[in-house]
A and B are shown apart, each in its own frame.
Chain A
């Protein structure tokens, strides 16, 4: 908000202004179309020059969903690599990550952009994992249920080994406490739990806590499926533990008494 709040225009949008707006859109569209045909021509001619590279930058900033252009861009990058020293190539890759950052701001669920990031990281001399983790933290803060973000996180952690399974387990605890209606977080939790707690005694203790956690989620919001799924997965870890199974059944029965109409009754019958 500008500080100059006083001299606000009082006029409403007039017809002339609306027309001017329309003309601007038409102009914009023509520019975009012109750009598309220019880049396509370059691609068909296999011209991997600077002009082609700059045109793809411009085009992809306007429309990150144009996946053919990401492919063309990678062809140009590979071509350039042959003529570059490692340092310059590393710098080029970093600037590619910045371009992808900007594109994700426009659409955080774009397959092509996530794919481009991954390709860059796999093809750059020194993969910038710390930068990626920072970005991922911010992305999941903004939208904790972006499954692209979660999938990519698993990839980055596996490829970089930057964080231990225990740290990742704690990360899911944080995200679940912010919003437990989150399939991605529960799913990731199940993956890292097994890695983080290998010792049987320790794992048994953790699993006890997990049953308690999931019970809290279920009692808070029985209609939310994600917690029920996690409970089912937990039970699959202890198929022979009859005490545990009957304890869980009891808890569900108690819930059905408070909520006779809820769907969890069906779940109980299914599990029983």
Chain B
């Protein structure tokens, strides 16, 4: 049986565990092709208008898989960490897909809820296997291998590699170049790793000779520490990671500038961006820019803004602490 996995949303965070698990169980996994204009347009036309860009793209990827596979894997990530949630739209994703796309093959809905504890992770995968008619030792072995694959991926990320380098190892990026200037890009992994929709932001910045850091490079311990200072527990996992890494970069002087990559209509971004911007403006005063993406974003305007931002940063580094570049 061929199982299709849409290359969107949480795919970029969890594909090692999903793909390995399904592969080891003996299924053929097919991943939808990288986002193209066609996929985006399809998603936009299928999905409700008010949804955010990443969810629209997810719809496009699901549509892309129709006809190529026997069943489509739709993750329903309710919670990936105890006591936390992700986003209401992630929880309602299977319903959104079911009710807006017609002619769907059967869906393989993967319920994943660790809200009550980490021990439910194994159970979630067991249930997934049972849906596919498998149980017993095969499943345990597949689960173990999948977990170690996921750990490996996360270790690579924590060691400072850009997720794009891991995802697309062919286009290797020379690790030996150690640039002086580092830019931190805050954003959801599904924006940063999608080269079409993020207009290849990571590569663009790397090609101009800068180091890039993304939130998934920041160790969990640091995130937890930084979050403690916030008056209320951050209960959204992605939000927590972005906020925690933002504060980390502001505090530790690790980066020379911060770019916040946000998508139009993202509810979490609107709050996290506001907090980071206000903290930065009040105390740290690092160069900071917000790039907002939607289905109409133009490449030229995006590039101009990026160049302007980098120029500003360069001026500031060169001229030192003269007032002009500090705004």
Indicate, yes or no, whether A interacts with B.
no
Q: Which residues of A contact B (CB under 8 A)?
A: none
Q: Which residues of B contact A (CB under 8 A)?
A: none
